[in-house]
Amino acid sequence: MRSPVARRRRGQELGLGLMAVVVTAGGYVLLQLAEKPDLPPDLWVFMLAVLGLYLVAHLAVRRLAPRADATLLPIAAVLNGIGFVVVSRLDRDLARVQAVWIAVGVGAFVLTLMLVRRIRTLERYKYTFLLVGLGALLLPMLPGIGREINGARLWLRLGPLNFQPGEIAKVLLVVFFAAYLVDKRELLSSGTRHVGRLTLPDPKHLGPLLLAWAVSILVMVQQKDLGSSLLFFAVFAAMLYIATSRASYLIVAFGLFVGGALIAYQLFGHVQDRVQAWVDPWSVSQTTGFQTVQSMFALGTGGFDGTGLGLGSPQKIPNASTDFVFSAIGEELGLIGTVAVCCLFLLFVGSGFRIAVQADRPFSKLFGAGLTTIVGVQTFVIVGGVTRVIPLTGVTLPFISYGGSSLIANFVIVALLLRISDETVRQAEEPRARTTAVIGEAASVPSRRQVAR
Amino acid sequence: MNRSIRKVGIAVTVLLLALVAQLTYFQVVDANRLADDPRNVRSQLEDYNRPRGQILTADGEVVARSVPVEGDGDFKFQREYPLGPLFAQISGYQSFVVGNAGVEASYNGVLTGREKEIDFGNITDVFTGKQDTQNVVLSLERRLQQLAADQLGDRKGSIALVEVKTGAVLAMYSNPTYDPNPLAGHDTEQVNTDFFLLNIDPAKPMLPRAYRELFPPGSTYKTVTAIAGIDAGVTSPTTEYPFRAFLELPQSSTPLENFGGGTCGGTLIQAFTVSCNVVFAEIGLQLGNDFVPRMANCGVQAGTNPPLDLDPSAVASVGPPAGSFDNDKPSFARAGIGQDPVAVTPLQMALVAAGIGNGGVIPLPHVARDITDADGGLLRTIAPEPWLTCTSPATALEVTNMMVQVVNSSNGTGTRARIPGVTVAGKSGTAQTGVEGAPPHAWFMAFAPAEAPEFAVAVILEGEGGTSEQTGGQVAAPLARAMLEGALFP
């Protein structure tokens, strides 16, 4: 590593990562102590496994993206560690599967770093990603391999495991959106049609975008995956706004959202149930509001400092290891734990947006911001849902919830953000390469100036 | 583009901070309300799944214990009551479905280890929040409790046996009783059904009659009347009373008669020995409003309940309201002979007997003797405490002598309580139930040995339809004798 930035950042990443390993092992020990007053017999095996997984990821970054941001991987590691401890507290069998998924996730992380050497490679295949993304969304609808769980048909059956291809589709579709928006943003920014006081761009340019978005939303509504619909909607609106800097898109998007929400409320009983359980869960505390009420009980029982790991009754909350994992954390680790987790997500999101701001190519900026928005908004949608800030819609809590597809998608997001970050520093360090890059992307030069002003 | 990225970043940050605000509300501001909400089963589950200490008898038998349950269910322990109905009204029950009662409720904190006697846990306890359970050792002995149950047989009634000096309850049993084991079950519906059936049973098997049911005490109450009269100076053991068959009552056209319609009188000692109603009714009238505070001294006035260490605790007795003499004089005459408006629990009469035996000081009653740790090591002994000062040692001695006459005198009403070689002080009672056609309640209260009192007992055999005509001296005295013998000669 010749680069001093690389040396410094990788050193920080290793140090922070070791702390993440200690936090995870500490949680594991506490969990064991709650049952009997001995240290877990497999503590060393556990610590070595956690350390080993982290070192694999860290060494991959060292080798494949040495100049990348130092904080994302440790934050992901500690969130993932907390998640594993909580899931294993709730269900030992599930934890064993989760351990395999974490290993697969780390593998996906390394593979992503290996395959995506240059972020612009992705840009080139945007329509391929669109097709694969939509295909992945549609896959669970196919008879035979699709599976319905809790009324939502989102899963693929792969032998004993269930896989949710929609999680991966999110990332793929964000690639398409970012590439398409960067391509068309000049046209999208300058409106040609006037609708009242709003100026809208030519539908010819907006059309494919709206179509892709509408299809993905419809598919999710059809699959009853409200959380993903909401997430997708928000991420799409944010990316459109970032690409064009035009607030009018946000107004239009908000209008579409309100309209869509009203229609969904009229059409679907389960949407009405969710809204009812949000407005007044106590009146339906035994039926549709049951999980919301149980979640509030868990949070209240946890109070400021929690019952202690392994000493609460989070198994009383339905779906405690997936949608409601945050409530389980709230019960056993208290406000201290929940705020710590929120702060970790804030740090993650902060690092992600910083990477996007520092990136020097529009696609990298938009793509990085889109990926970061996925993690931030997904966190808000599920934590807001279980804490009654918004109606409950089931999505996973990134890095923490049980679920392989979600873990893989999130590790891929980290890898892609690190790739963007590494590329930014590398281009800054190699002026010649930067010149070449600028020449190679003449079209994007004016836009950068536009942003700079 | 950077500006809009920053704006989106700020928006996401605001969203996440909104979560922190909401979390603070749920986990700090509203936390206690949510934690204590009756629909939140956590605290009950926690209590139920905490390892729980044993309840043991003074002679080392297990009254209640928790055995681990295999499997992954909500419940990690099953509560068992090996002695079942014999101790049900002391141990109570610990139920996830219908709550708890008895020692299970009053010593819940001790049994779960939450109220620690000694707070030096080892270091892993601090980290895990693990609490050691503690056992409650009762002052009751299984042997004496069994004796009480055997003595009552299938008759409806109660027996309370206490230690004179300490107030330790050695036996407290009443018929009918119930088995607490089904209530500790884990099947909500089954437990609710069992609980409902026990509650609608007209025999009220879950009612601990010895300390939670009120009965007119009848002539046993003459001990209180005598104490009040002597202390107030309206009578003395040698005061002479005319021989009469009835007493005209003020404000009433119905005269008060002696039991069985006989004529009686003479000295107070003689009147006490044969349980002469007209004499004690007259003392009640002479005492007037002064009677009420003196009842209170002996723990048998309206609203006084012995602070027994059970939950629910002992009920309060009833009696004439303070200052009501001028409005209702006949009530004070009837109170003098332990009839309406006076009603007490059998435990209260045992405590009056203990107070007389203890030089006038009634000890604080308690059913628990020791708190021990999980290995049986002694953590704390329930220290004996005085409860009320009923009378002076001199008056107590005079009343003791009268009670000895009741048992030892050939014309006494309590001759059946005699124990060879031991002087027994006692008083019989035969209380009108107020129910037309129902035979009276048969009472006997006693303590022994009279010279150096150790044990006090109260027995009631309830009069109800179907029981034959009975007097306390005939049917209740032998039970009191058996209990005292059992305590004196183990």
Instruction: Name A214's Cβ contacts closer than 8 Å, sequence gap at least 6.
Output: none
Does the B211-368+386-488 domain belong in CATH 3.40.50.1100?
no
**pLDDT category of residue A441 using cuts at 50, 70 and 90:** very low
| 3-state secondary structure (DSSP) of residue A154 | strand
B116 or A9, which is more confident?
A: A9
Q: Is residue B187 pLDDT above 70, yes or no?
A: yes
Q: Which amino acid is at A329?
A: I
Binding-face residues of B in 123-142 toward A, CB within 8 A: 124-125, 127-130
Residue range B426-468, pLDDT digits in tens: 999 999 887 777 889 999 999 999 999 999 999 999 986 666 6
Q: Are A297 and B46 inside 8 Å of each other by CB?
A: no
Residue pointed to by tokens 């305590």: B487
**What integer is the mean pLDDT of B261-284?**
94
Q: Given this model, what pLDDT does residue A350 score?
A: 96
**pLDDT category of residue B39 using cuts at 50, 70 and 90:** confident
Among B27, B74, B126, B127, the strongest candidate for a mutation testing the A interface, having the largest count of A CBs within 10 A, is B27
Q: Is residue B126 pLDDT above 60, yes or no?
A: no
Q: Least CB-CB distance to A365: which of B5, B39, B41?
A: B5
A438 or B27, which is more confident?
A: B27
**pLDDT category of residue A151 using cuts at 50, 70 and 90:** low
Residue range A362-400, pLDDT digits in tens: 999 999 999 999 999 999 999 999 999 999 988 899 999
Q: Which of B219, B275, B317, B428 is flagged as catalytic?
A: B219
Residue range A26-68, pLDDT digits in tens: 999 988 888 777 788 888 899 999 999 999 999 999 999 999 9
Give the whole-number percent of chain B exceeding pLDDT 70.
93
A92 or A451, which is more confident?
A: A92
Residue B102, strand partner residues: B311
Contact A181, A239 (CB under 8 A): yes
**What integer is the mean pLDDT of B201-222?**
95
Q: Given this model, what pLDDT does residue B410 score?
A: 94
Q: Given this model, what pLDDT does residue A197 score?
A: 66
Q: Is residue B130 pLDDT above 60, yes or no?
A: no
Q: Given this model, what pLDDT does residue A256 score?
A: 81
Q: Is A364 on the interface with B (CB under 8 A)?
A: no
With contacts defined as CB-CB under 8 Å, which chain B residues touch A33? 124, 127-128
Our CA-based measurement puts residue A141 at a distance from the nearest CA of chain B, in whole angstroms, of: 32
Residue range B299-356, pLDDT digits in tens: 998 888 899 999 999 999 999 999 999 999 999 999 999 998 999 999 999 999 999 9
ipTM score above 0.85: yes
In A, minimum Cα distance to B9 occurs at A353
Burial class (CB in 10 A: 0-12, 13-18, 19+), A273: middle
Lowest mean pLDDT of A3-7, B148-152, B373-377, B467-471, name the range: B467-471
Our CA-based measurement puts residue A374 at a distance from the nearest CA of chain B, in whole angstroms, of: 10
How many other CB atoms are there within 10 angstroms of residue A57's CB atom?
26
Among A338, A392, A447, A449, the strongest candidate for a mutation testing the B interface, having the largest count of B CBs within 10 A, is A338
Q: Given this model, what pLDDT does residue A198 score?
A: 65
Q: Given this model, what pLDDT does residue A191 score?
A: 65
Q: Least CB-CB distance to B18: which of A310, A377, A389?
A: A389
**What integer is the mean pLDDT of B94-108?**
88
Q: Is B24 on the interface with A (CB under 8 A)?
A: yes
What pTM value is reported for the model? 0.64
**What integer is the mean pLDDT of B355-371?**
96
**pLDDT category of residue A249 using cuts at 50, 70 and 90:** confident
Q: Which amino acid is at B60?
A: G
Q: Given this model, what pLDDT does residue A152 score?
A: 66
Q: Are A304 and B127 inside 8 Å of each other by CB?
A: no
**What integer is the mean pLDDT of A192-219?**
69
Lowest mean pLDDT of A180-184, B214-218, B328-332, name the range: A180-184
**pLDDT category of residue B47 using cuts at 50, 70 and 90:** low
Q: State yes or no: is B219 an active-site residue.
A: yes
Closest C-alpha among A125, A120, A152, A119 to residue A137? A152
Q: Is B51 on the interface with A (CB under 8 A)?
A: no
Among B3, B10, B19, B32, the strongest candidate for a mutation testing the A interface, having the largest count of A CBs within 10 A, is B19
In A, minimum Cα distance to B38 occurs at A297
With contacts defined as CB-CB under 8 Å, which chain A residues touch B72? none
Give the whole-number percent of chain A exceeding pLDDT 70.
87
B202 or A440, which is more confident?
A: B202
Residue B426, strand partner residues: B446
Residue range A269-297, pLDDT digits in tens: 888 888 999 999 988 888 888 889 999 99
Q: Is residue A439 pLDDT above 60, yes or no?
A: no
**What integer is the mean pLDDT of A192-207?**
68
Among B3, B4, B45, the strongest candidate for a mutation testing the A interface, having the largest count of A CBs within 10 A, is B4
A200: part of which helix (H) or strand (E)? strand A198-200
Q: Are A356 and B13 inside 8 Å of each other by CB?
A: no
Residue range A295-337, pLDDT digits in tens: 999 999 999 999 888 888 888 888 888 889 999 999 999 999 9
Q: Which amino acid is at B454?
A: E
Q: Is A3 on the interface with B (CB under 8 A)?
A: no
Binding-face residues of A in 26-45 toward B, CB within 8 A: 30, 33-34, 37
Q: How many residues does chain A have?
A: 453
Q: Domain map of chain B by residue range?
A: 211-368+386-488
**What integer is the mean pLDDT of A413-422?**
96
DSSP A153: E
Q: Is residue A450 pLDDT above 50, yes or no?
A: no
**pLDDT category of residue B133 using cuts at 50, 70 and 90:** confident
Q: Are B16 and A342 inside 8 Å of each other by CB?
A: yes
The mean predicted confidence, pLDDT, of chain A is 86
Q: How far apart are CA B302 and CA B279, in angstroms?
A: 23
Q: Are B18 and A308 inside 8 Å of each other by CB?
A: no
Q: Are B23 and A304 inside 8 Å of each other by CB?
A: no
With contacts defined as CB-CB under 8 Å, which chain A residues touch B5? 242, 353, 356-357, 365, 369
CB pairs under 8 A between A and B: 158
Angle at CA of residue B34, ends B30 and B38, nearest 5°? 150
Q: How far apart are CA A42 and CA A84, in angstroms?
A: 16
Q: Are B16 and A373 inside 8 Å of each other by CB?
A: no
Q: Least CB-CB distance to A330: which of B27, B39, B42?
A: B27
A81: part of which helix (H) or strand (E)? helix A72-90
Lowest mean pLDDT of A164-168, B29-33, B120-124, name the range: B120-124
Q: Given this model, what pLDDT does residue B96 score?
A: 81
Q: Is residue A178 pLDDT above 60, yes or no?
A: yes
Q: Is residue A435 pLDDT above 60, yes or no?
A: no
Lowest mean pLDDT of A80-84, A229-233, A414-418, B19-23, name the range: A229-233
Residue B157, strand partner residues: B175, B461
Q: Given this model, what pLDDT does residue A208 score?
A: 64
**What integer is the mean pLDDT of A77-89?**
95
Q: Is residue A157 pLDDT above 80, yes or no?
A: no
